[in-house]
């Protein structure tokens, strides 16, 4: 019949009354009829699928309210399930056609039940031929001894699921068996419900109550649409077994145990299972088709983080679309504009004139220029823009980044998708595609102790499953391997995933949240690959790595955890790169108790405490990260902290940029530290409430897991690698950083130990450039550029020991150097400051030699009170006020002033004033290492002035901001 003879709607109504064989015949008429039959997907095919007693909803148990992509395809899979178990090709010795013909001819249906030919299952099995179908009528069938299956059969319960119950213990000795629509319960004499040691068994739409299933290699199994209530499955060295769309409830131990290395002895079903697994891989699905995209427990209303906020990197243009909390203060933006203008107005004058500066421009009104300044004063100024650190000021502070550079910078910090990670990492790709051991797909584990336990070199793969309300979801130990893709793991009473004893594998694209302990717990040599997961809203840390644990942690979103996003301790040594770690209620990354690790190119933002917190022997490499917009300090190096902190952008934090305790030994180099609300870098001698901090930071994590002794082995083999690419230091070192536009002093020192401050650009901070408040040991400040700060360049308080050598101290709004302590001031350029060039007062005892000094409006050198020391061989440039040296001391014999040279300004001179022989300080030799640092810094410099953030003012006096929080 021509299909165009009736409306399509009427054809669909007629065809909805046909049975399955008739639908098949109609679909073979022609293409038009075939497409018409396909159009019945949401009507007749849905009705057939849900009306089959052997079928469950295709998306059961995780999303039974979500329509499948095709009801026809789902029904087809259920229909073929009764066929695939018998595809045994191992016995095909004559011909395929003969084998299939014989099986169809010999197959019978045996009915078991009261009033039928067979009263119990044992009798029916004794009479069955290979591949017969045994139908159990509704009732309870109990066997008093073990049943041995010697011939392949199909056992199906009649009626609804639950109408047929078997109290048996079955030992399979045949090649294949299928069981469907039956409730299994253990017999009185053993908890083992079903066991096979060689053959393949297929369970469809069954319930298992309070028992065990044991599958031993080379046996295999396929379990689909089954419920396990206080029941477990044990796999021993299996080559490949598949669990699909199963529900595990109320287990007293692990619901699924995978033990032993997969055997190489494979039975006939392995090929079939492999094809099945590959055809339904979650890697082939659309991103939103994962069953763990959103669970009913994940309303996020009870999440500690609430709604997810974002930290935007502004490319340019209008900032008005940003949230108020992320907008840059207008004054901050004006500062950048003035800086650009200032830099543009510096020029070399005509021959015979001094270097001039546009008096209407300034750097945040911090330079010597002012609107009331006359032309005469500008004539006195010396050029200092060519010193060896000027490139740090030019690139970081003044320049407007080009579009291409900003796009490249954004791409550097953009999260990579799982597909991108798999394309670039062949090992991850191999793991994702591997099929060995046990495959668990679209299953639900809930309300029990454990989900999956993998041990003794076992292998398991979990895809698209949900683990919730368990003690733990997955535990992998003893050199075992686990592959986890697109699972949902939440509300576990302990950690979500445990890896121990050299375990490994791939954990990718999972949603791990709301667990009572860590989302992932890695220790004792475990070395997994952790990619592209969401790890959030945990009641403790997101990821914990300890006890020589390793791992590669890459491209994850880690946010909203109550403690550290990543916590590394006890010789934990992971590689953490390319992650976004944000909105945590404690530190972003905490490294403690001799923890190590390489922390590279992460975005660490908006955390309540330090972006990175390093304490108690922690010794990581923290390189090229963006640490911004935190509610406390950017980087905290606490008691006995170590580490290389290099090439990071530390921006817009409400505490200090870097907070250092004097008992620590960090190497802080080549960082951009700007627009933080308090100090740029602060060094404190006071041992703050570190124990209280750690108690809240993750220090009381339940590390003694399930009776394990808290004994941490020393990883001696890797000790030589720790410092292979690092320079060993014996004194805390702050070098080659750009420290600018911070809300208090650029560098604040209250230390009881030696400290080296070398080759930093300290610019435009809202207090002094460097404040040495306490320094019982020598603080060495050498070869720094200290310019345009709101107060003085360097302030040294009473009883402090300092060495100031080779610095350039320019255009600060108060004195260049104000000193009340002891030490030496040698070969510095102190030029263009609004106050005195050098002010010695109270009990200062300084040796001041070979400096070049100019104060435009005050004395070049001012010596007061009980000052002692030697002021000798200095070159003093005359300023507008023509004040040179003033000495008012109580005992002139204790303060020797001699052989200082005054250079007066001559308006008609043909020679302009310049700093030459040597040129403007600081002087830094460019080494290979220095070139490398400059290259790294160039990549992160443009970020400093372009990230939108509110920078609030206010300072604390003597500690990290977290003390105030506590």
Query: Is residue 525 pLDDT above 60, yes or no?
Result: yes
Q: What is the C-alpha separation between 365 and 170, in angstroms, rounded?
A: 88
pLDDT grade, residue 71 (50/70/90)?
confident
With respect to residue 514, please indicate whether it lies within any of the assigned structural domains. yes
- Based on the domain organization, do 525 and 441 belong to the same domain? yes
pLDDT value at 162 more than 80: yes
In this prediction the pTM is 0.85
Is residue 125 over pLDDT 80?
yes
Residue 338 CB-half CA count within 13 A? 20
| CB neighbour class for 17 (10 Å; exposed up to 12, middle 13-18, buried from 19) | exposed
pLDDT at 698 over 80: no
Same domain for 756 and 890, yes or no, is: yes
Arithmetic mean of pLDDT, 592-610 = 95
What pLDDT is attached to residue 763? Answer: 95
Evaluate if residue 930 carries a pLDDT over 90.
no
Query: How far is the C-alpha of 586 from the C-alpha of 560, rounded, in Å?
Result: 9
Span 563-589, average pLDDT: 96
The boundaries of the domain holding residue 768 are: 679-687+731-903
Arithmetic mean of pLDDT, 248-265: 94
Residue 615: name the closest of 595, 586, 634 by CA. Answer: 595
Q: How confident is the model at residue 838 (pLDDT cuts 50, 70, 90)?
A: very high
Q: What tens digit of pLDDT does each residue of 371-414 get?
A: 444 555 566 677 777 788 888 887 554 433 344 443 444 456 88
> pLDDT tens digits, residue range 145-158?
999 999 999 999 99
Q: Sorting pLDDT into bands at 50, 70 and 90, what band is 1?
A: low
- The larger pLDDT score, comparing residue 515 to residue 698, is at 515
Cβ atoms of 962 and 697 within 8 Å: the answer is no
Strands 852-855, 488-490: pairing kind: unpaired
Q: What is the pLDDT of residues 172-201, one digit of tens each?
A: 999 999 999 999 999 999 999 999 998 999
Same-domain status, 663 and 797:
no
Select from 62, 86, 105 the last residue of a domain.
62
What is the pLDDT at residue 30? Answer: 87
- Which residues 6+ apart lie within 8 Å of 440 measured at CB? 243, 256, 452, 460, 461, 462, 463, 465
Give me the number of domains the chain comprises: 4
Identify the top-confidence range among 640-654, 700-714, 719-733. Answer: 640-654
Residue written as token pair 């990354």: 589
- pLDDT at residue number 100: 46
Dmax of the chain from CA atoms? 129
**324: pLDDT strictly greater than 60:** no
Q: Are residues 525 and 575 located together in one domain of the fold?
A: no
Contact 8, 33 (CB under 8 A): no
751 burial class (0-12, 13-18, 19+ CB within 10 angstroms)?
buried
Position 413 scores a pLDDT of 80
At residue 584, the pLDDT reads 96
Reduced 3-state DSSP string for 15-73: HCCCCHHHHHHHHCCCHHHHHHHHCCHHHHHHHHHHHCCCCCCCCCCCCCCCCCCCHHH
Q: Per the domain annotation, does 124 fall within a domain?
A: no
| Cα atoms found within 13 Å of the Cα of residue 658, Cβ hemisphere only | 36
Write down the pLDDT at residue 287. Answer: 54
Band of pLDDT at residue 338, cut at 50, 70 and 90: very low
- Phi first, then psi, for residue 419 (nearest 5°) are -65, -40
Residue 197 maps to a domain? no
Cα distance between residue 323 and residue 308, in whole Å: 13
Whole-number pLDDT of residue 521? 98
Three-state SS annotation for 274-307: HHHHHHCCHHHCCHHHCCCCCCCCCCCCCCCCCC
889 and 765 belong to one structural domain: yes
Identify whether residues 660 and 683 lie together within a single domain: no
Across residues 899-925, what is the average pLDDT? 76
pLDDT tops 70 at residue 701: no
Model pLDDT for residues 467-499, shown as the tens digit of each residue? 999 999 999 999 999 999 999 999 999 999 999
pLDDT exceeds 70 at position 637? yes
Examine the pLDDT at 594 and tell me if it is beyond 90.
yes
Mean pLDDT of the 547-558 span: 97
Q: Which residue did the predictor score with more confidence, 39 or 309?
A: 39
- Helices 31-38 and 20-27 pack at an angle, to 10 degrees, of 140
Q: How confident is the model at residue 699 (pLDDT cuts 50, 70, 90)?
A: very low
Residue 881 lies in a domain: yes
Last residue of a domain, one of 634, 667, 700: 667
In a domain? residue 188: no
- Whether 654 is in a domain gets the answer yes
Scanning the structure block, which residue is given the tokens 């717990």?
521
Cα–Cα distance between 694 and 418 in angstroms, integer? 34
Q: At what angle do helices 8-15 and 31-38 cross, to 10 degrees?
A: 70
Looking at residues 232-250, what average pLDDT do you find? 96
Higher pLDDT, residue 85 or 656: 656
Is 962 among the domain residues?
A: no
pLDDT number for residue 695: 42
What's residue 955's pLDDT?
A: 43
Tell which wins on pLDDT, 320 or 6: 6
d(CA 145, CA 491): 41
Q: Could you tell me which of 253, 241, 161 has the C-alpha nearest to residue 194? A: 241
Q: Give a yes or no: residue 118 inside a domain.
A: no
* DSSP string of 814-846, one letter each residue: S-SEEE-SEEEEES-EEEEESS-SEEE-TT-EE
Best CA proximity match to 153, nearest among 192, 195, 106, 118: 106
520 and 432 both lie in a single domain = yes
Residue 890's pLDDT is: 75
Q: What is the pLDDT of residues 424-456, one digit of tens each?
A: 999 999 999 999 999 999 999 999 999 999 999
Mean pLDDT to the nearest integer, 534-562: 97
Q: Where residue 790 sits, what CATH number does that domain have?
A: 2.160.20.10
Considering the domain architecture, whether residues 892 and 833 belong to the same structural domain is answered as yes
858 shares a domain with 748:
yes
Higher confidence at residue 166 or residue 345? Answer: 166
Higher pLDDT, 284 or 825: 825
DSSP string, 679-695: -SEEEE-S--SHHHHHH
Of the pLDDT bands very low, low, confident and very high (cuts 50, 70, 90), residue 878 is confident
Share of the chain above pLDDT 90, in %: 56
Q: Which helix (H) or strand (E) holds 854?
A: strand 852-855
Give residue 395's pLDDT.
58
| pLDDT of 893 | 78
> Cα–Cα distance between 578 and 591 in angstroms, integer?
18
Phi, psi of 410 (to 5 degrees): -65, -40
Rounded CA gap, 525 and 170, in Å?
40
Task: Verify that 651 and 755 share a domain, yes or no.
Answer: no
Minimum mean pLDDT range among 49-58, 78-87, 698-707, 721-730: 698-707
Q: Which of 226-240, 347-361, 655-669, 782-796 has the lowest mean pLDDT?
A: 347-361
Please tell me the total number of residues recorded for the chain in this structure: 966
Percent of the chain with pLDDT over 70: 76
Tell me the C-alpha to C-alpha distance, in Å, between residue 349 and each of 309, 346, 378, 524.
51, 9, 12, 68
Structure confidence at residue 910 (pLDDT): 47
pLDDT at 936 over 90: no
Instruction: Specify whether 574 is located in the same domain as 519.
Output: no
Last residue of some domain: 619, 639, 667?
A: 667
Same-domain status, 744 and 883: yes
């Amino acid at each position: 019949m021509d299909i165009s003879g009736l409306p399509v709607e009427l054809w669909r109504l007629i065809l909805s009354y046909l049975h399955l064989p008739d639908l098949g015949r109609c679909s073979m008429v022609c293409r038009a009829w075939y497409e018409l039959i396909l159009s019945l997907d949401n009507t007749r095919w849905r009705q057939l699928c849900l009306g089959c007693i052997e079928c469950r909803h295709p998306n059961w148990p995780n999303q039974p309210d979500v329509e499948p992509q095709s009801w026809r395809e789902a029904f087809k899979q259920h229909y073929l399930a009764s066929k695939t178990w018998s595809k045994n090709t191992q016995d095909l010795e004559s011909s395929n056609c003969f084998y299939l013909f014989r099986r169809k001819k010999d197959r019978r249906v045996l009915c078991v039940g009261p009033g039928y030919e067979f009263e119990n299952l044992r009798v029916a099995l004794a009479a069955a031929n290979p591949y017969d179908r045994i139908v159990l009528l509704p009732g309870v069938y109990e066997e008093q001894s073990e049943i041995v299956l010697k011939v392949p059969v199909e056992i199906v319960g009649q009626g609804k699921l639950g109408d047929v119950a078997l109290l048996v213990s079955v030992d399979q000795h045949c090649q294949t068996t299928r069981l469907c629509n039956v409730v299994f319960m253990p017999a009185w004499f053993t908890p083992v419900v079903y066991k096979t040691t060689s053959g393949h068994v297929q369970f469809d739409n069954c319930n298992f109550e309070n028992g065990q299933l044991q599958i031993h290699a080379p046996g295999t199994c396929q379990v689909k649409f089954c419920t396990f209530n206080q029941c477990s499955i044990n796999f021993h060295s299996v080559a490949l077994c598949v669990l699909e769309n199963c529900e595990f409830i109320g287990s007293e131990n692990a619901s699924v145990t995978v033990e032993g290395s997969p055997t190489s002895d494979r039975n006939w079903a392995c090929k079939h299972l492999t094809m099945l697994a590959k055809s339904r891989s979650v890697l082939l699905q659309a991103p939103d088709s994962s069953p763990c995209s959103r669970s009913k427990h994940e309303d996020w209303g009870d999440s500690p983080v609430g709604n997810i906020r974002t930290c935007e990197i502004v490319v340019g243009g209008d900032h008005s679309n940003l949230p108020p909390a992320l907008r840059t203060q207008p004054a901050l933006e004006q500062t950048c504009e003035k800086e650009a203008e200032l830099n543009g107005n510096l020029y070399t004058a005509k021959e015979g004139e001094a270097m001039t500066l546009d008096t209407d421009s300034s750097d945040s009104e911090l330079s010597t220029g002012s609107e009331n300044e006359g032309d005469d004063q500008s004539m006195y100024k010396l050029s200092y823009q060519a010193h060896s650190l000027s490139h740090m000021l030019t690139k970081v502070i003044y320049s407007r980044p080009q579009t291409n550079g900003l796009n490249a910078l954004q791409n550097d910090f953009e999260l990579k998708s799982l597909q991108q990670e798999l394309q670039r990492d062949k090992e991850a790709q191999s793991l994702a595609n591997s099929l060995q051991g046990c495959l668990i797909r679209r299953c639900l584990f809930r309300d029990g102790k454990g989900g999956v336990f993998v041990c003794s070199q076992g292998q398991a793969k979990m895809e698209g499953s949900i683990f919730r309300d368990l003690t733990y979801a997955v535990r992998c130990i003893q050199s075992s391997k686990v592959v986890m893709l697109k699972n949902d793991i939440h509300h576990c009473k302990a950690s979500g995933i445990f890896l121990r004893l050299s375990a490994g594998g791939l954990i990718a694209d999972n949603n791990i949240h709301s667990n009572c302990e860590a989302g992932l717990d890695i220790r004792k040599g475990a070395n997994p690959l952790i990619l592209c997961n969401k790890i959030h809203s945990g009641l403790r840390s997101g990821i914990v790595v300890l006890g020589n644990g390793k791992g590669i942690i890459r491209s994850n979103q880690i946010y909203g955890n109550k403690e550290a996003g990543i916590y590394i301790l006890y010789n934990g040594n992971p590689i953490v790169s390319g992650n976004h770690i944000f909105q945590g209620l404690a530190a972003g990354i905490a490294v403690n108790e001799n923890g190590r690790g390489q922390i590279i190119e992460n975005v660490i933002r908006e955390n309540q405490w330090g972006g990175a917190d390093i304490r108690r022997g922690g010794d990581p490499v923290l390189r090229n990260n963006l640490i911004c917009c935190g509610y406390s300090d950017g980087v905290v190096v606490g008691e006995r902290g170590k580490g290389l902190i290099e090439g990071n952008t530390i921006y817009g934090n409400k505490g200090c940029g870097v907070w250092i305790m004097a008992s620590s030994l960090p190497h802080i180099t080549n960082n951009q530290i700007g627009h933080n609300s308090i100090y740029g870098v602060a060094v404190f001698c006071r041992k703050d409430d570190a124990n209280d901090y750690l108690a809240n930071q993750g220090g009381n994590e339940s590390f003694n897991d399930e009776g394990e002794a808290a004994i941490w082995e020393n990883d001696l083999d890797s000790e030589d690698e720790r410092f292979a690419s690092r320079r060993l230091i014996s004194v805390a070192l702050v070098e080659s950083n750009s420290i600018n536009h911070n809300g208090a002093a650029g560098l604040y020192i209250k230390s009881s130990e030696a400290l080296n401050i070398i080759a930093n650009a300290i610019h435009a901070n809202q207090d002094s450039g460097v404040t040495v408040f306490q320094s019982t040991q020598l603080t060495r400040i050498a070869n720094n550029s200290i310019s345009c700060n709101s107060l003085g360049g360097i302030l040294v308080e009473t009883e402090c020991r300092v060495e100031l050598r080779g610095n350039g101290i320019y255009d600060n709004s108060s004195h260049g150097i104000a000193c009340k302590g002891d030490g030496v001031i040698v070969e510095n350029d102190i030029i263009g400051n609004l106050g005195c060039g050098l002010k010695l007062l109270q009990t200062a005892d300084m040796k001041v030699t070979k400096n070049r000094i100019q104060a435009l409006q005050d004395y070049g050198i001012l010596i007061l009170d009980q000052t002692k020391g030697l002021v000798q061989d200095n070159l003093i440039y005359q300023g507008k006020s023509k004040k040179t040296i003033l000495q008012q001391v109580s005992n002139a014999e204790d303060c020797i002033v001699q052989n200082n040279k005054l250079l007066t300004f001559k308006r008609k001179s043909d020679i302009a004033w310049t700093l030459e022989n040597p040129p403007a300080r600081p002087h830094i030799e460019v080494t290979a290492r220095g070139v490398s640092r400059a290259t790294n810094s160039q990549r992160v410099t443009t970020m400093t002035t372009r990230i939108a953030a509110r920078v609030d003012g206010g300072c604390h006096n003597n500690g990290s901001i977290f003390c105030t929080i506590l």
